[in-house]
Structure 1
Amino acid sequence: MSSASIAAAAPVPETAEIESRKRRDVLDGARRVFFDKGFDGASMDEIARAGGVSKATIYVYFDSKEDLFEALVQVDRRQSAELMFEFEGDDPDVARQLRRIGVSFMTMMVRPDHIKMVRMVMGVAEKFPRIGQTFFETGPCLGGRRIAELLARQAGHGRLEIDDYEAAAFQFLNLCQGNITKGLLFGSEHKPTTAQIEKTVDSAVKVFMAAYGAKAAQ
């Protein structure tokens, strides 16, 4: 077989796969630079170097630094929400299921990279409100909707009594946070221990079940 035939027979990656990989490289580079320098301090040149791509390649996928940051927010928040709110089966013990979700949620919420992301988004949201809206829709709102679906299923089994599932879902998430997240956002260097997170979540579950637990089951 000639060398030309061998070359022709060799597998060639699909263009879509190459494009997807390049876009991922850009986002990976952007994540490192944004987290290190912040939004204002990050430059497209630095992002290109960090991602191992050319500056021209970045502009193939993103029109501006704002567009790139918005895409990064969207990807990171969606992945976090999907990981945090994966539900295993239909556990008849609602309190146990909510506790598992609450601890997973709060473990993510106190991570330094999450706190950095929230601060960056809050810092740019006034100038670029679309970025703030993207964070809100793909993070808190997506997570709240997923929990609302769970609450609706549990109510369908007669284990909860809820009129507004989404409102109840956000109430639960807010209860889980207590004052922990605010402290970190405003500069507290005291990262809560696992025991402190669990204590706050246990209190949130107790309050939630007192409000929404099926009366016949109480």
Structure 2
Amino acid sequence: MTESSPVPSGPGRPKDPAKREAILAAAQTLFLGNGYEGSSMDAIAAEAGVSKLTLYSHFKDKEALFGAAVKATCETRLPRRLFVLEHGREFRSVLLDIAQAFHELVISPESIGLHRLMVAMAAQNPTLSRMFFDAGPQKLLLDLEQLLDQAHRCQLLDVPEPMRAAEHFCSLIKGAAHFRLLIGYAERPDAEDGKRHVEDCVALFMRAYAGETDTVDRTGS
């Protein structure tokens, strides 16, 4: 069920970025701690230390706030700078940085809690499930698709279908360890095991999509 704003949104004073960040942080805390249905807009406003009117001036309803919270989490863990090809840099190094950041994200308590929440909500609120996927996993896949397409045009890899390759990449990184964490079967892997897993996955991906070279020396025109 969507909690709608009690007042129509419209132009007004500039919004305070600090209050927006506080609202997003509060939403992340309450959604994970109390679930989606158990987190009211009143409670989120109180947790953020803002009025309900201020909350609704930033987010029109709870679904919009949830989507923004998911997006903010992903952008913090996987910033845009990771998906940039730099002249003279090995593409393997680019993929390693992305893979490491993605692996740390998917095994984080926040991510595991969010995935469990979405599984529980899937049958009740498919719209929310789509919003979650579009704001988080789909955004990552699109960023990877663009990067892999550029690598293909630069002949760094042979990737004629970059979206399929992006899905392969993410599936490799998540692996069985993510499922074990999701169902509470195992503890979070330590840093050394995580690093070895990431390196193995990137090496396998590079072999599967081997190109002519592994160093950025052209713009892909």
Check whether TM > 0.5: yes
Please give the alpha-carbon distance, in whole angstroms, between the structure 2 residues aligned to 1:189 and 1:83.
31
Match runs of 1:159-198 below 5 Å: 159-198=156-195
CA, structure 1 residues 88+31, in 2 after alignment: closer, same or farther (shift >3 Å)?
same
Retained in 2: the 8 A contact 1:84–1:105? no
SS state at 1:17 partner: coil
CA, structure 1 residues 197+53, in 2 after alignment: closer, same or farther (shift >3 Å)?
same
Q: TM-score, normalised by structure 2?
A: 0.77
Note the C-alpha offset of 1:103. 1.4
Note the C-alpha offset of 1:83. 5.4
Tell me the equivalent position of 1:50. Answer: 47
SS state at 1:39 partner: coil
Q: What is the CA deviation profile of residues 146-198 of structure 1, one whole-angstrom value per residue up to 9, with x for unaligned ones?
A: 22222222222322112101111110111112211111111134111122112
Tell me the equivalent position of 2:209. Answer: 212
Note the C-alpha offset of 1:60. 4.8
Retained in 2: the 8 A contact 1:44–1:65? yes
Note the C-alpha offset of 1:77. 3.2
User: Residue type of the partner of 2:176?
Assistant: N
Tell me the equivalent position of 1:133. Answer: 130
CA, structure 1 residues 70+214, in 2 after alignment: closer, same or farther (shift >3 Å)?
closer
Please give the alpha-carbon distance, in whole angstroms, between the structure 2 residues aligned to 1:62 and 1:17.
11
Please give the alpha-carbon distance, in whole angstroms, between the structure 2 residues aligned to 1:196 and 1:171.
21
**Which runs of no fewer than 5 residues in structure 2 stay unpaired?**
1-11, 215-221
Retained in 2: the 8 A contact 1:95–1:205? yes
Note the C-alpha offset of 1:64. 4.6
The yes-or-no answer on 1:99 pairing with 2:96 is yes
Retained in 2: the 8 A contact 1:77–1:135? no
Please give the alpha-carbon distance, in whole angstroms, between the structure 1 residues aligned to 2:31 and 2:86.
38
Retained in 2: the 8 A contact 1:99–1:202? yes
Tell me the equivalent position of 1:16. Answer: 14
Q: Return 50-59 or 164-173, whichever deviates more.
A: 50-59
Q: What is the CA deviation profile of residues 37-61 of structure 1, one whole-angstrom value per residue up to 9, with x for unaligned ones?
A: 2223323332222111234544455
Tell me the equivalent position of 2:5. Answer: none
**Which runs of no fewer than 5 residues in structure 1 stay unpaired?**
1-13
Tell me the equivalent position of 1:11. Answer: none
Q: TM-score, normalised by structure 1?
A: 0.78
SS state at 1:192 partner: coil
User: Residue type of the partner of 1:187?
Assistant: G
Retained in 2: the 8 A contact 1:44–1:55? yes
The count of residues paired between Structure 1 and Structure 2 equals 203
The yes-or-no answer on 1:26 pairing with 2:23 is yes
User: Residue type of the partner of 1:15?
Assistant: R
CA RMSD between the two structures: 2.8
Tell me the equivalent position of 1:6. Answer: none
Retained in 2: the 8 A contact 1:74–1:134? no
Tell me the equivalent position of 1:82. Answer: 79
User: Residue type of the partner of 2:36?
Assistant: F
**Structure index of larger Rg:** 1
Which structure ranks higher in relative contact order (CA pairs < 8 Å, sequence separation ≥ 6)? Answer: 2
Retained in 1: the 8 A contact 2:118–2:129? yes
SS state at 1:178 partner: helix
